[in-house]
Amino acid sequence: MTMRNAFARRFAAALLPAALAAGAAVPAAAQSLTGAGATFPYPIYSKWFDMYGEKTGVRINYQSIGSGAGIQQVRAGTVDFGASDAALSNDRLREMPRRVVHFPTVAGAVVLAYHLPGTSKPLQLTPEVIAAIYLGKITTWNDRRVAAANPGVELPAAPILAVHRADGSGTTNIFTSYLSAISAEWKDLVGANTSVSWPSGVGGKGNEGVAGLVRQTPGAIGYVELAYAKQNRLPVALVRNRAGRFVAPSLASTTAAAAGSAAALAKDVRTPIVNAAGPDAWPIAGLTFLLVYQDQKDPAKAKALADFIAWAIHEGQSVAEALDYARLPEAVVKVNEASLRTLTAAGRPVIAGR
């Protein structure tokens, strides 16, 4: 590291006059960047920062303090980038001092884990049933609407305990965005956010809190991240997607959801990818974002940051599956490439058109 630093400094010193003369192309010497925000993508981000640091010497410090706190740090200008599981609404964007660009990095899925003793076939749920359960309108498992989606399954007469996340979370944002997309009543009554006013059920803290309640309460159903459900081997429900097929949650079906929303994402990358088109799309999916100011103050940092993002959306994707994240489909990578070209530092483009 010290050797590389020394070399980089000498290299920079040699180039500096030329660079100044050219008025651009600041050398990417051993930079350090700071970021803060979402906890959901923290495992893959820290892996990326390690890999990227080894490859280029760029040090990235990231604090996973939660999306909301990360957004505040971006607003205060104390970090070079923020990270959030929920895209900023127009209101939130207006609170920002300058224009903020969203870069989706990976996709995640939210799944419904349940606890029904005595049933062996995976539970099948329609969008209407999920909304009615969380609205408190279906209260027992042997309700005919649940039974209609599960032919040949003997459902118990047990009461349903709908479990949600008590702490504000991107997982809740994805799930409530989905409910808002498929149920007009939910959209009017509750809406979508990282925390909402739940009409029924109980809250558990974190994925582990929700999973703990589901596991020990017969008749409970709750939503958790796909990665968490996979690692803990929770039974999860199949959900009928927009194409009318019951699909199982997986990394592939999550990527398919992002691909199915590509046209809308090209117009506005903040569009939720829930209830996406496509026969294999898992309907309860979401992207997680890096938040970056469009006009950067420090050209050298801006270049380092843009290079990192370009690396993360291309080479970085190869480690996604191993860490239980769904990779970005090609169409979304293209959207990111276009966004990268809009970044400027002191009025000049950070990345030359390529």
Partner 1 sequence: MWADEAYRRLLGALALLVPVVAALVLYETARGAGPSLRVFGWGFLVSTDWDPVAERFGALPYLYGTLVSSAIAMALAVPFGIGSAVFLAELAPPRLGAVVSFVIDLLASIPSIVYGIWGLFVLAPWLRSAAEPWLTAHVGFLPLFQGFPFGIGMLNAGIVLAIMVVPTVVSISREILLATPRSLREAALALGSTRAEAIAVAVDAARPGILGAAILALGRALGETMAVTMVIGNTNRISASLLAPGATMASVIANEFAEATGKLYLSALVEIALVLFALTVVVNALARLLVVATTGGRRDVAGAA
Instruction: Tell me which residues touch partner 1 (CB under 8 A).
Output: 65-69, 71-72, 86, 88, 91-92, 95, 159, 161, 166-170, 190-198, 201-205, 209, 212-213, 216-217
> Looking at beta carbons only, is 164 or 301 nearer to partner 1?
164
Instruction: Tell me whether strands 161-165 and 202-204 are parallel, antiparallel or unpaired.
Output: parallel
Which amino acid, one-letter code, is at 52? Y
> Looking at beta carbons only, is 29 or 196 nearer to partner 1?
196
**How many contiguous H segments (helices) and E segments (strands) does the chain have?**
14, 14
Which tokens is 169 given?
């979370």
> Looking at beta carbons only, is 161 or 224 nearer to partner 1?
161
The string of DSSP codes covering 329-344 is PHHHHHHHHHHHHH-E
Residue 119: HSE in the Cβ half-sphere, 13 Å Cα cutoff: 24
Helical packing angle, 127-134 and 170-182, nearest 10°: 120
d(CA 281, CA 86): 20
Task: Judge whether 255 and 329 are in contact, CB under 8 Å.
Answer: yes
- The distance from CA 83 to its chain's CA centroid, rounded to whole angstroms, is 9
Q: Work out how close the CB of 41 gets to partner 1 at its nearest, in angstroms, rounded to a whole number.
A: 14
Q: Work out how close the CB of 35 gets to partner 1 at its nearest, in angstroms, rounded to a whole number.
A: 16
Q: Work out how close the CB of 157 gets to partner 1 at its nearest, in angstroms, rounded to a whole number.
A: 12
Q: Work out how close the CB of 204 gets to partner 1 at its nearest, in angstroms, rounded to a whole number.
A: 7
Q: Work out how close the CB of 288 gets to partner 1 at its nearest, in angstroms, rounded to a whole number.
A: 13
> Looking at beta carbons only, is 68 or 272 nearer to partner 1?
68
> Looking at beta carbons only, is 132 or 196 nearer to partner 1?
196
> Looking at beta carbons only, is 158 or 266 nearer to partner 1?
158
d(CA 280, CA 15): 52
First to last CA, the chain: 31
Q: Work out how close the CB of 303 gets to partner 1 at its nearest, in angstroms, rounded to a whole number.
A: 29
Strand partners, 288: 106
User: How buried is residue 46: exposed, middle or buried, by Cβ count under 10 Å (0-12/13-18/19+)?
Assistant: middle
> Looking at beta carbons only, is 67 or 253 nearer to partner 1?
67
> Looking at beta carbons only, is 94 or 267 nearer to partner 1?
94
What 8-state DSSP symbol labels residue 34? Answer: E
